[in-house]
Amino acid sequence: MTAQDWSRAFHGVVIHTTSLTSLTIVEDALLTVSPSGRIASLEAGVRPDQVPSKLALLEAAACPVTYLQRGQFLMPGFVDTHHHAPQWLHRGQGQGLHILEWLDQVAFPNEARFEDASHAQRVYGKVVEGMLRQGVTTASYYGSKHGAATKTLADICLARGQRALVGKCNMSRNAPDYYRDADEHESLAATLDCIHHIRRIDPEGVLVRHALTPRFAICCDAGLLSGLGDLARRYPDMPIQTHFNESEQERRATLTLFPGFSNEADLYQHFGLLNDRSILAHCTIMTDYETRRLARLGCGVAHCPTANMTVGGGFMAAPVRDFLRSGIKVGLGTDSGGGYSSSMLDAMRHSLVASFARDSLDARDGTAAVSLDEAFHMATLGGAQVVGRDADVGNFQPGKAFDALVVDVRGDAGGVNAPLEDDDSLRTMLEKFVMTGDDRNIRSVFVGGTRVHGV
């Protein structure tokens, strides 16, 4: 390569994960990024004074270098596996309500406003800006039931440079007359229109891809679920996202509507919606049979601890340790709206809290607790695996896209994180960011090598 073939380089602390049990902290790392926005190389143990000669060996002597200071580090961008974009404005409302009452009283009236194109344009701009500011470089978005607004969300993600799955929310029953599809035909036609639009604006799916999005079986009759299953077979690379075993109230209502099934796993598989592309949000109430079935089919779980502890009907702690033991892909989701916080840092913290609660109640052998290393994995590489983007993002493996955050926990960063002490280890620096940091500690955000937020 020649010098002009390199776009940028970083020197300093690099933190990423290569597996569920392998959190890697690299001191004196030199990471180079190609003009295509992909990671060209990652080398450890390079002293600052060695950087020019190392770049010269790569024929990249003129490559601009960012030297990270003590208290700064580079990490992969966050992957939010479950986020309701039209719920951005009513986050935190209706806390403590059971899920179906919360939908009727809070979510549905607010989501219905997205029939107004100007409202969708204004709010979705704030959603994507706010998510990028908080370091979410990849998001799996539920849109509203409106096809036009869903296309607007996809347009904004592409224009702002955020990697995203975007889905028109399918709902043909058990919602107010003012906020549901007229029938399965209207719902499927609008879905196809969104699919074609997203494939037209981003043909290779580099940033934006469509996701089939049945809200949940309560809002979808059998004909609509069958039609979506047909689309899943027609588009064998398309992700599928839905809510799954979110609460006892939701589970009972679902099985009452579908009396031929005794569990949600059999129900969704019957309609062709359960496979290795499925992103199943919540999964708080699981039988051993369902867990085994999800593992066998290769499904992914979007764990949303913040929402599960505040909206739905009680403190619901998903059996994440069971999922991980079973080899199920697990990522974290903010579930904005149900979850009052859109921060992936909060999702990481709450995943620890929920697992500690589960651990105290778990009578089986072995611990149910989740470690900070595992929470970091779920927020980055694990999330990328759940949404089907781990070949491209999630860590700093050479060849992957450079989706990254420059984190700064120094005192002058302006955050409220625990102060960094002179004798703090690199591990302590990471823990202070995860447990006490906020978006003010995220100095820069990159997607595909392009800075999309910060300096």
Is this prediction's pTM over 0.95? yes
Q: Are 271 and 407 part of one and the same domain?
A: no
Q: Are 156 and 179 part of one and the same domain?
A: yes
Whether 407 maps to a domain, the answer reads yes
- Where do we find the tokens 């270098």? 65
Q: Are 166 and 261 part of one and the same domain?
A: yes
Please state the domain count of the chain. 2
Q: Which tokens is 405 given? A: 């955050």
Dump the DSSP string for 140-205.
EEE--S-HHHHHHHHHHHHHHT-EEEEEPEE--SSS-GGGS-SSHHHHHHHHHHHHHHHHHHSTT-
Q: Are 329 and 303 in contact (CB under 8 A)?
A: no
What φ, ψ does residue 23 adopt, rounded to 5°? -85, 125
Q: Which residues contact 365 (CB under 8 A, 6 or more apart)?
A: none
Q: What is the pLDDT along the chain (455 residues), one digit of tens a residue?
A: 333 456 899 999 999 999 999 999 999 999 999 989 999 999 999 999 999 999 999 888 889 999 999 999 999 999 999 999 999 999 989 888 888 999 999 999 999 999 999 999 999 999 999 999 999 999 999 999 999 999 999 999 999 999 999 999 999 999 999 999 999 999 999 999 999 999 999 999 999 999 999 999 999 999 999 999 999 999 999 999 999 999 999 999 999 999 999 999 999 999 999 999 999 999 999 999 999 999 999 999 999 999 999 887 667 889 999 999 999 999 999 998 888 999 999 999 999 999 998 888 775 655 889 999 999 999 999 999 999 999 999 999 999 999 999 999 998 888 889 989 999 999 999 999 999 999 999 999 999 999 999 99
CATH code at 85? 3.20.20.140
Q: Are 166 and 139 in contact (CB under 8 A)?
A: no
d(CA 270, CA 393): 32
Q: Are 342 and 366 part of one and the same domain?
A: yes
Whether 1 maps to a domain, the answer reads no
Whether 2 maps to a domain, the answer reads no
Note down the domain range covering 22. 8-76+397-454
Q: Which residues contact 432 (CB under 8 A, 6 or more apart)?
A: 409, 417, 418, 420, 424
Q: Are 192 and 125 part of one and the same domain?
A: yes
Which of the listed residues 387, 405, 440 is the one where a domain comes to its end?
A: 387
Nearest to 334 by CA among 107, 136, 104: 136
Query: How many CB atoms neighbour CB 236 within 10 A?
Result: 8
What is the amino acid identity at position 442? Answer: I
d(CA 100, CA 438): 32
Q: Which residues contact 404 (CB under 8 A, 6 or more apart)?
A: 74, 75, 76, 77, 137, 396, 445, 446
Gyration radius of the chain's alpha carbons: 22
Q: Are 269 and 364 part of one and the same domain?
A: yes
Angle between helices 147-160 and 184-201 (to 10 degrees): 20
Q: Are 402 and 380 part of one and the same domain?
A: no
Q: Are 233 and 147 part of one and the same domain?
A: yes
Bridge-partner residues for 302, per DSSP? 281, 331
Which of the listed residues 358, 387, 416 is the one where a domain comes to its end?
A: 387
Q: Are 224 and 291 part of one and the same domain?
A: yes
Instruction: Tell how strand 169-170 and strand 213-214 pair up.
Output: parallel
d(CA 247, CA 253): 10
Q: Are 164 and 221 part of one and the same domain?
A: yes
Instruction: Tell how strand 136-142 and strand 72-76 pair up.
Output: unpaired
Task: Report the chain's terminal Cα–Cα distance, integer Å.
Answer: 27
